[in-house]
Chains A and B, each alone.
Chain A
Amino acid sequence: DAKTTQPPSMDCAEGRAANLPCNHSTISGNEYVYWYRQIHSQGPQYIIHGLKNNETNEMASLIITEDRKSSTLILPHATLRDTAVYYCIVREFSGSARQLTFGSGTQLTVLP
Protein backbone atom coordinates (compact mmCIF):
# COMPACT_ATOMS: atom_id res chain seq x y z
CA ASP A 1 0.00 0.00 0.00
CA ALA A 2 1.18 3.51 -0.77
CA LYS A 3 2.50 5.63 2.06
CA THR A 4 0.62 8.70 3.30
CA THR A 5 1.85 11.92 4.89
CA GLN A 6 -0.30 13.99 7.23
CA PRO A 7 0.44 16.98 9.46
CA PRO A 8 0.79 15.83 13.07
CA SER A 9 -1.70 18.34 14.44
CA MET A 10 -4.25 20.99 13.46
CA ASP A 11 -6.65 23.31 15.26
CA CYS A 12 -10.06 24.41 14.09
CA ALA A 13 -12.63 26.78 15.56
CA GLU A 14 -15.96 25.27 16.47
CA GLY A 15 -18.53 25.79 13.72
CA ARG A 16 -15.92 26.34 11.04
CA ALA A 17 -14.91 23.87 8.37
CA ALA A 18 -12.00 21.60 9.20
CA ASN A 19 -9.83 20.76 6.19
CA LEU A 20 -7.44 17.90 6.80
CA PRO A 21 -4.81 17.30 4.10
CA CYS A 22 -3.17 14.04 3.13
CA ASN A 23 -0.35 13.44 0.69
CA HIS A 24 -0.16 10.09 -1.11
CA SER A 25 2.11 10.84 -4.03
CA THR A 26 2.94 7.18 -4.76
CA ILE A 27 -0.67 6.03 -4.96
CA SER A 28 -1.39 3.57 -7.76
CA GLY A 29 -4.46 3.26 -9.92
CA ASN A 30 -6.08 0.45 -7.94
CA GLU A 31 -5.70 2.06 -4.52
CA TYR A 32 -8.49 3.72 -2.61
CA VAL A 33 -8.14 6.56 -0.10
CA TYR A 34 -9.80 5.85 3.25
CA TRP A 35 -10.30 8.12 6.23
CA TYR A 36 -10.84 6.92 9.78
CA ARG A 37 -10.83 8.83 13.02
CA GLN A 38 -10.15 7.80 16.59
CA ILE A 39 -11.58 9.66 19.50
CA HIS A 40 -9.53 9.30 22.66
CA SER A 41 -9.67 5.77 24.13
CA GLN A 42 -12.13 4.50 21.52
CA GLY A 43 -11.72 2.26 18.49
CA PRO A 44 -11.20 3.85 15.06
CA GLN A 45 -14.36 4.98 13.29
CA TYR A 46 -14.81 4.83 9.52
CA ILE A 47 -15.54 8.20 7.92
CA ILE A 48 -15.39 7.96 4.13
CA HIS A 49 -13.44 6.49 1.22
CA GLY A 50 -12.98 7.20 -2.48
CA LEU A 51 -11.07 6.21 -5.59
CA LYS A 52 -10.89 9.27 -7.81
CA ASN A 53 -14.17 11.13 -7.62
CA ASN A 54 -15.07 13.43 -4.78
CA GLU A 55 -17.29 11.79 -2.21
CA THR A 56 -19.71 13.12 0.39
CA ASN A 57 -21.65 11.47 3.17
CA GLU A 58 -23.39 12.59 6.33
CA MET A 59 -20.09 12.95 8.17
CA ALA A 60 -17.69 14.54 5.72
CA SER A 61 -16.57 15.26 2.18
CA LEU A 62 -13.50 13.82 0.50
CA ILE A 63 -11.79 15.81 -2.20
CA ILE A 64 -9.19 13.91 -4.26
CA THR A 65 -6.97 15.86 -6.65
CA GLU A 66 -7.09 14.99 -10.31
CA ASP A 67 -3.66 13.37 -10.23
CA ARG A 68 -4.74 11.48 -7.06
CA LYS A 69 -1.52 12.41 -5.29
CA SER A 70 -3.27 14.18 -2.45
CA SER A 71 -6.66 14.48 -0.83
CA THR A 72 -8.50 16.61 1.70
CA LEU A 73 -11.06 15.52 4.24
CA ILE A 74 -13.56 18.27 4.99
CA LEU A 75 -15.70 18.39 8.11
CA PRO A 76 -18.10 21.18 7.12
CA HIS A 77 -19.09 22.43 10.59
CA ALA A 78 -16.67 21.12 13.19
CA THR A 79 -17.93 20.51 16.71
CA LEU A 80 -16.05 19.80 19.91
CA ARG A 81 -16.94 16.12 19.46
CA ASP A 82 -14.89 16.05 16.25
CA THR A 83 -11.69 16.38 18.29
CA ALA A 84 -9.84 13.18 17.40
CA VAL A 85 -6.90 11.68 15.54
CA TYR A 86 -7.71 11.45 11.84
CA TYR A 87 -6.02 8.76 9.77
CA CYS A 88 -5.64 8.85 5.99
CA ILE A 89 -5.06 5.34 4.63
CA VAL A 90 -4.37 4.14 1.11
CA ARG A 91 -5.62 0.64 0.48
CA GLU A 92 -5.33 -1.59 -2.53
CA PHE A 93 -8.43 -2.90 -4.22
CA SER A 94 -7.30 -6.38 -5.11
CA GLY A 95 -9.95 -8.91 -4.26
CA SER A 96 -8.03 -9.97 -1.18
CA ALA A 97 -9.07 -8.80 2.25
CA ARG A 98 -6.28 -6.40 3.05
CA GLN A 99 -5.74 -5.08 6.50
CA LEU A 100 -5.59 -1.35 7.09
CA THR A 101 -2.13 0.20 7.47
CA PHE A 102 -2.37 3.18 9.79
CA GLY A 103 0.18 5.98 10.03
CA SER A 104 0.42 8.44 12.89
CA GLY A 105 -2.51 10.55 11.72
CA THR A 106 -3.44 14.18 12.41
CA GLN A 107 -4.60 15.24 15.85
CA LEU A 108 -7.46 17.65 15.18
CA THR A 109 -8.43 19.85 18.10
CA VAL A 110 -11.67 21.77 17.76
CA LEU A 111 -11.53 24.89 19.88
CA PRO A 112 -14.59 26.54 21.47
Chain B
Amino acid sequence: DTGVSQNPRHKITKRGQNVTFRCDPISEHNRLYWYRQTLGQGPEFLTYFQNEAQLEKSRLLSDRFSAERPKGSFSTLEIQRTEQGDSAMYLCASTLGESSTDTQYFGPGTRLTVL
Protein backbone atom coordinates (compact mmCIF):
# COMPACT_ATOMS: atom_id res chain seq x y z
CA ASP B 1 0.00 0.00 0.00
CA THR B 2 1.54 3.35 -1.00
CA GLY B 3 -0.84 5.60 0.90
CA VAL B 4 0.04 8.17 3.56
CA SER B 5 1.48 6.53 6.65
CA GLN B 6 1.76 7.90 10.16
CA ASN B 7 3.67 6.67 13.17
CA PRO B 8 3.01 5.94 15.89
CA ARG B 9 -0.70 5.21 15.61
CA HIS B 10 -1.21 5.75 19.32
CA LYS B 11 0.81 7.67 21.88
CA ILE B 12 0.13 7.99 25.60
CA THR B 13 2.26 10.47 27.47
CA LYS B 14 2.33 12.33 30.73
CA ARG B 15 1.72 16.03 30.93
CA GLY B 16 4.90 18.00 30.40
CA GLN B 17 6.62 15.43 28.21
CA ASN B 18 7.65 16.04 24.60
CA VAL B 19 6.26 13.91 21.79
CA THR B 20 7.10 13.60 18.09
CA PHE B 21 4.96 12.18 15.32
CA ARG B 22 6.04 11.20 11.85
CA CYS B 23 4.19 11.38 8.54
CA ASP B 24 5.31 9.73 5.31
CA PRO B 25 3.34 11.16 2.38
CA ILE B 26 2.55 9.42 -0.87
CA SER B 27 5.67 9.24 -3.01
CA GLU B 28 6.23 12.36 -5.17
CA HIS B 29 3.53 14.34 -3.37
CA ASN B 30 5.10 17.72 -2.75
CA ARG B 31 2.43 19.23 -0.51
CA LEU B 32 1.94 17.99 3.02
CA TYR B 33 -0.64 19.13 5.58
CA TRP B 34 -1.08 18.57 9.30
CA TYR B 35 -4.52 18.67 10.93
CA ARG B 36 -5.75 18.11 14.48
CA GLN B 37 -9.08 16.51 15.35
CA THR B 38 -10.69 16.50 18.79
CA LEU B 39 -13.55 14.23 19.75
CA GLY B 40 -16.78 14.97 17.93
CA GLN B 41 -15.27 17.68 15.73
CA GLY B 42 -14.01 17.78 12.18
CA PRO B 43 -10.28 18.07 11.51
CA GLU B 44 -8.72 21.52 11.95
CA PHE B 45 -5.79 22.76 9.87
CA LEU B 46 -2.46 23.22 11.65
CA THR B 47 0.22 23.77 9.03
CA TYR B 48 1.24 23.07 5.44
CA PHE B 49 4.47 22.39 3.53
CA GLN B 50 5.33 22.82 -0.12
CA ASN B 51 8.34 20.55 -0.48
CA GLU B 52 10.56 21.48 2.50
CA ALA B 53 9.16 24.97 2.97
CA GLN B 54 6.58 25.55 5.68
CA LEU B 55 4.26 28.02 3.99
CA GLU B 56 1.33 28.44 6.34
CA LYS B 57 0.61 28.00 10.02
CA SER B 58 -2.71 28.16 11.81
CA ARG B 59 -3.13 30.18 14.99
CA LEU B 60 -3.86 26.79 16.57
CA LEU B 61 -0.15 26.00 16.21
CA SER B 62 1.16 27.41 19.48
CA ASP B 63 4.87 27.93 20.10
CA ARG B 64 4.98 24.51 21.78
CA PHE B 65 4.33 22.94 18.37
CA SER B 66 6.95 22.66 15.66
CA ALA B 67 6.82 20.90 12.33
CA GLU B 68 9.57 20.09 9.89
CA ARG B 69 9.95 18.50 6.50
CA PRO B 70 13.72 18.55 6.11
CA LYS B 71 14.18 16.93 2.72
CA GLY B 72 10.76 17.51 1.29
CA SER B 73 9.72 13.92 1.93
CA PHE B 74 8.60 12.82 5.42
CA SER B 75 7.50 15.32 8.03
CA THR B 76 7.62 15.42 11.82
CA LEU B 77 5.34 17.23 14.24
CA GLU B 78 6.73 17.82 17.71
CA ILE B 79 4.78 18.98 20.74
CA GLN B 80 6.84 20.22 23.66
CA ARG B 81 5.62 20.29 27.26
CA THR B 82 2.39 18.52 26.40
CA GLU B 83 -0.84 19.58 28.07
CA GLN B 84 -4.06 17.63 28.54
CA GLY B 85 -5.68 19.89 25.94
CA ASP B 86 -3.28 18.51 23.33
CA SER B 87 -5.08 15.15 23.48
CA ALA B 88 -6.42 14.66 19.97
CA MET B 89 -5.99 12.79 16.71
CA TYR B 90 -3.20 14.31 14.60
CA LEU B 91 -3.77 13.76 10.89
CA CYS B 92 -1.41 14.18 7.98
CA ALA B 93 -2.47 14.61 4.35
CA SER B 94 -0.58 14.98 1.09
CA THR B 95 -1.30 16.11 -2.44
CA LEU B 96 0.59 15.96 -5.69
CA GLY B 97 0.58 19.74 -5.85
CA GLU B 98 -0.01 20.25 -9.55
CA SER B 99 -3.36 21.96 -9.15
CA SER B 100 -5.11 23.91 -6.45
CA THR B 101 -7.95 21.39 -6.62
CA ASP B 102 -5.65 18.47 -5.90
CA THR B 103 -7.25 15.81 -3.78
CA GLN B 104 -5.82 15.58 -0.27
CA TYR B 105 -5.14 12.02 0.79
CA PHE B 106 -5.12 11.46 4.53
CA GLY B 107 -3.16 9.08 6.69
CA PRO B 108 -4.70 7.01 9.50
CA GLY B 109 -3.69 9.54 12.13
CA THR B 110 -1.80 9.45 15.43
CA ARG B 111 -4.02 9.46 18.50
CA LEU B 112 -2.36 11.32 21.36
CA THR B 113 -3.54 10.94 24.94
CA VAL B 114 -1.96 13.23 27.54
CA LEU B 115 -2.47 12.05 31.10
Binding site for B on A (CB under 8 A): 32, 41-46, 49, 85, 87, 91-105
Return the CB mask of B75-115 against A: 1 if under 8 Å, else 0.
Answer: 00000000000000001010101001111111111010000
Interface residue SS majority, chain A = loop
Residues of chain B within 8 A (CB-CB) of A94 are: 100
For B4, list chain A residues within 8 Å (CB): 43
Contact of B106 among A43, A49, A85, A103 (CB under 8 A): A43
Is the pair A104, B42 in contact by a Cβ cutoff of 8 Å? yes
Any chain A CB within 8 A of the CB of B28? no
Is B50 a contact partner of A102 (Cβ separation < 8 A)?
Answer: no
B-side contacts of A46, CB under 8 Å:
103-105
List A contacts of B93 (CB < 8 A).
43-44, 100
* B100–A99 CB distance below 8 A: no
Which chain A residues lie closer than 8 Å to B65 at the CB level?
none
- In-complex Cβ contact of B33 among A85, A91, A99 (8 A): A99
A103 and B111 alpha carbons, distance in the complex (Å): 20
A21: min CB distance to chain B, Å: 17
> Residue on A with the closest CB to B104?
A100
- Are A97 and B100 in contact, CB atoms less than 8 angstroms apart? yes
State the CA gap A35–B50 with chains docked (Å).
24
A97 touches B43 (CB 8 A): no
Partner of B100, one of A44, A96, A104: A96
Q: Closest chain B residue to A45 by CB distance?
A: B106
Indicate which residue in A91, A97, A102 contacts B97 across the interface (CB closer than 8 Å): A97
Q: Are A43 and B101 in contact (CB under 8 A)?
A: no
- B42→A103 contact, CB < 8 A: yes
A100-B101 CB under 8 A given contacts A43-B107, A43-B109? no
